[in-house]
Amino acid sequence: MERKETDVYLRLDPARLPQHIAIIMDGNGRWARRRHMPRVAGHRAGVAAVRSTVETAARIGIPALTLYAFSEENWKKRPKTEVDFLMRLLCRYLQAEIKTLNENNIRLKYIGRQHELPESVQREMEEASDATSKNTGMLLTLALNYSARSEIVDAFRSLAEAAARNGGLDHMQVDEQTISDHLYTRGLPDPDLVIRTSGEMRLSNFLLWQLAYAEIYVTQTLWPDFRGVQLLEGIEEYQKRDRRYGGLGPDGHAPQSTSHRTHAEAKR
């Protein structure tokens, strides 16, 4: 761990680390534009950010990390040449990172409509997932061809199909836990912390059901410049928050987040 990472880590409470962090990786295009480079250069540079973030998260013992890598909307909103480059970049990443993932005991999985991706990409995804399937450390999830609204649609379709096999819609049970059990993320705890890079203040159709009570941390850092130390800074901010899930503090009032208190108030 680099010196600056160590300095931030020593300020953290290891007993209060998030169990699941989700990251909206944004800013590749702006990073490239500021350097008068093509957009694909930003995507290429973003791979180093993924590597540093994943390794730091695994090193400090984060159980689950989910990265928003490619949305359903990207098919329509990006030029075909850029999308094709992203697919090739994904395949190269999966091929190159298997060794590192195994060395760090990281298991890889995916969420999204994988069947709509090119067959060559699906094969690389399956091979990488199989190659890391016996690892027991952090679960790294890549959201690929992902849309939160599509996920909810698919969950309800799955519920209806299960009911049809079990005697009809009269037998369909619908509650929060049942819906969660039919989402792509079933078996994963909901994220405690969602990080968005590049300063944008929106969720962009990412894990809308699962992020109901997540703490949101927005950094101005563009994704290609994001590293493990920025991840730790996000966790540090998370640990300053009062997580009440809609409840009140012990005095019957909503406590003020320590991140907005003065140093004198925080010491009282």
Contact present, 45 and 216 (Cβ < 8 Å): no
pTM of the model: 0.89
pLDDT at 244: 67
Q: Top-level CATH class of 15-146+190-241+255-267?
A: alpha beta
User: What percent of the chain has a predicted confidence (pLDDT) above 90?
Assistant: 82
Alpha helices in 166-226 (DSSP H): 176-181
Name beta bridge partners: 24.
68, 196
pLDDT at 250: 56
Q: pLDDT tens for residues 184-239?
A: 999 999 999 999 999 999 999 999 999 999 999 999 999 999 999 999 999 999 99
Contact present, 210 and 143 (Cβ < 8 Å): no
How sure is the predictor about 252, in pLDDT bands with cuts at 50, 70 and 90? low
Is residue 26 annotated as a catalytic residue, yes or no?
Answer: yes
Q: Which of 7, 13, 28, 74 does the annotation list as catalytic?
A: 74
Distance CA 108, CA 75 (A): 24
pLDDT at 256: 55
Distance CA 55, CA 75 (A): 29
Is residue 225 annotated as a catalytic residue, yes or no?
Answer: no
Q: Tokens at residue 44, please? A: 């290429």
pLDDT at 170: 75
Q: Which of 7, 13, 26, 145 does the annotation list as catalytic?
A: 26
- Scanning the structure block, which residue is given the tokens 């009032």? 253
pLDDT at 265: 33
Domain range annotation of the chain:
15-146+190-241+255-267, 147-188
Does position 138 have pLDDT exceeding 70, yes or no?
yes
pLDDT at 13: 97
* Residue 118, C-beta contacts closer than 8 angstroms, at least 6 positions apart: 87
